[in-house]
Amino acid sequence: MAGEDGVFRIARRVAADRVISTVDPEARHGRKSQNRRFDGYKAHVSCDPDGEFIDDIVITPANTHDADLAVVDGLLADHADADDKPTVMGDSAYASPDTIDHLEHDGFEVITKVPAATNGQGMFTKDDFGVDVERERVVCPAGCIVPIRFSADGSGRAEFGFRCAGCPKREQCTTAVSGRTITVHRREDILQRKKREQARSEWQAAYRGDRPKVERKIAHFMRVMWGGRAARTRGRERVQTDAVTRAAVINLARLATLHVAFTDGRWTTATA
């Protein structure tokens, strides 16, 4: 029931923050998904897809969200004051509107995959509605238009109410007696803009071209680092040192693959 579920979720959050090991008090519970849990630490890795190098790596307790490290005091700290900031690319873990807004405010171009809206009943999702924050309205699949009612925090709701009563598409849309309601995020403009961007062929080509390189490099690091995802040491600082050392080894191996050499006062590669 709702009350019991609420208690369960609160208890689970408390459990994630508590000490889980007397010999490694910095370790925490973490989750890859709703059904996949792990204990210990999480490695946040930044890669250069062009050269296929690991730029930076930060170890945190396992309960740290991925996006918490995608800010200027985390993986991007070295680029915070740069005039020519790199493009930041990430999957849906980095696609919250707050994270995107933070990075764009600091001058980064952001390419992240905003997840599609879902509907557990197989009916119309929010993506099937035309959400127009600028004109403060929402258009349903049947063409009905209702205004967005905003709250003090900037979020809002579009309630179709009685308009759903005789709608020919009602069975595809909602079973609620009061009609369909669309919730609008306080930074909905960012979500809608990013969804439009990722529908473009140029965005898809960039994302599909770079993501496999990064995923491959991270997989390589995990094999070298933990060989089955088991940390070799205890304590965040020692795990961090081990991670940085192994990332350096991987980068050196990459330099060897590229046949990098210092010749006649300059660095060269086999393809130079």
Let me know: does 69 contact 75? Beta carbons within 8 Å: yes
Measured on CA atoms in the order 252, 205, 76, 97, is the torsion positive or negative?
negative
263 phi and psi angles, rounded to 5 deg: -125, 130
Query: Where are the strands (E) in 49-139, listed by range?
Result: 53-61, 88-90, 110-112, 130-132, 137-139
pLDDT score for 227: 62
Domain annotation for the chain: domains and CATH numbers: 2-114+198-268 (3.30.420), 126-189 (no CATH)
228 phi and psi angles, rounded to 5 deg: 115, 15
Let me know: does 62 contact 41? Beta carbons within 8 Å: yes
Q: Which residue has the tokens 């020519």?
A: 84
Count the residues in the chain. 272
pLDDT score for 2: 41
pLDDT digits (tens, 9 = 90+) for 199-217: 999 999 999 999 999 999 9
Residue 208: half-sphere exposure toward Cβ, Cα within 13 Å: 8
Query: Do strands 149-150 and 156-159 pair parallel, antiparallel, or not at all (unpaired)?
Result: antiparallel
Digitized pLDDT (tens) for each residue of the chain, 272 residues in all: 344 444 545 455 545 567 888 889 999 998 877 788 888 999 999 999 999 999 999 999 999 988 888 765 677 877 777 888 888 898 898 999 999 998 998 889 999 999 999 998 899 999 999 999 999 999 999 999 999 999 999 999 999 999 999 999 999 999 999 999 999 999 999 999 999 999 999 999 999 999 999 999 988 888 876 665 778 889 999 999 999 999 999 999 999 999 888 888 888 887 64
